[in-house]
Amino acid sequence: MNNYRIYRKSTYTEGGNSSLSQNSLLAIGILDFGTVDVLETEITWYRQNMNYDLHVITRMDYGNISRLQEKYPDVTFIGFSSITFSGEMINAFAAECKTNYFLIVRTDGDLVRFDGAKLFSMMEKKEHPAMICGALANSRREIVPCVRAPGLKKEHIFTDSSFPNMKDDTKVDTLYPVMELGLYDRALFQRLRGFDEQIHSEYWQALDWGVRCWLFGYPIYLTQALLFQFPDQLSIIEDLSETEGFERCVTKALCIRQVNGKNAIHRISANLDKDVLKGEVRTRMLWLVKQDYPHLLSTWIGSESGS
């Protein structure tokens, strides 16, 4: 049973800033991590500046959703009954929005740049990415290291961070979306089964999603056409702790090897989740993986190229 309730927007609203044609293209999901006042400020800004279908993902016991719904009848609210990880929130939003693409933003960050023409052009190409991540800036408006590259030491997965080259006409490969922010292909997100809700970590959820994208043959890009700023944070630090469920990510990433062009099970000796190996890896991933993690690592360039 789902632990959330959906408060859908009114079919007809006055003063709303939405259109049927735009709504079929993009939905925006605001992850609520602040006060009600901050949330209302964010809703107002997106209603005034972004002419797309707007959703707020929050907690039912946090603020008065009924009051907010009356104030913003053109906004859909998804209210969770308990504190949950952002991956589960995004999964619920992706199942609800029914658009071609969706954009994930947060109440503790500002959307500084959204170049729709460039972003949609990249997503509409035949060989398009699974998603596009944005550059991240701190309270001083300084770009922080937000490009991620894969690493492996024995059977321990780690990631390296670097600064993006912020030229106008460039994009760069990145392993996963930091804080799960970015522009997603909704249908592909659904086919890849979204974020793993049994992983209790934003970092490991995002890493698991990104690795699956790359192993299945779908790249993830980062471009300055999308830019977020965190006005109250001088540094943006992820919690890399090996929390409950991180073994699920490791198992899916490392338990398939390609031998003579064919996928085979490779049983790791540490951080193995036997249920994931028997279920997800053997029954599904084994037939879908286009490259294994060591190959991804050995061929990773991450160099920027024209968009």
* Residue whose pair of structure tokens reads 């949330």 in the numeric block: 39
**What pLDDT is recorded for position 12?**
46
pLDDT for residue 169: 61
Q: What pTM does this model have?
A: 0.92
Q: How far is it, in rounded angstroms, from Cα 205 to Cα 55?
A: 21
Domain 4-242 has CATH 3.40.50.720: no
What is residue 27's predicted lDDT score, i.e. its pLDDT? 98
Q: What is the pLDDT of residue 143?
A: 95
From first to last of its 307 residues, the chain has per-residue pLDDT tens of 678 999 999 854 444 444 444 568 999 999 999 889 999 999 999 999 999 999 999 987 655 888 899 999 999 999 998 889 999 999 999 999 999 999 999 999 999 999 999 999 999 998 999 999 999 999 999 999 999 999 999 889 999 999 997 665 689 999 999 999 999 999 999 999 999 999 999 999 999 999 999 999 999 999 999 999 999 999 989 999 999 999 999 999 999 999 998 999 999 999 999 999 999 999 999 999 999 999 999 999 754 444 4
Q: Give the Cα-Cα-Cα angle 106, 108, 111 (nearest 5 degrees).
A: 60
- The pLDDT of residue 17 is 44
Domain ranges of the chain: 4-242, 246-304
Q: Is 15 left (phi over 0), alpha (psi -120 to 50) or beta?
A: left
Phi-psi region of 289 (alpha: psi -120 to 50; beta: other; left: phi over 0): beta
The secondary structure of the chain, three-state, reads CCCEEEECCCCCCCCCCCCHHHHCCEEEEEECCCCHHHHHHHHHHHHHHCCCEEEEEEECCCCCHHHHHHHCCCEEEEEECCCCCHHHHHHHHHHHHCCCEEEEEECCCEEEEECHHHHHHHHHCCCCCCEEEEEEECCCCCECCCEEEEEEECCEEEEEEECCCCCCCEEEECCCCHHHCEEEEHHHHHHCCCCCCCCCCHHHHHHHHHHHHHHCCCCEEEEEEEEEECCCCCCCCCCCCCCCCHHHHHHHHHCEEEECCEEEECCCCCCCCHHHHHHHHHHHHHHHCCCCHHHHHHHCCCCCEEC
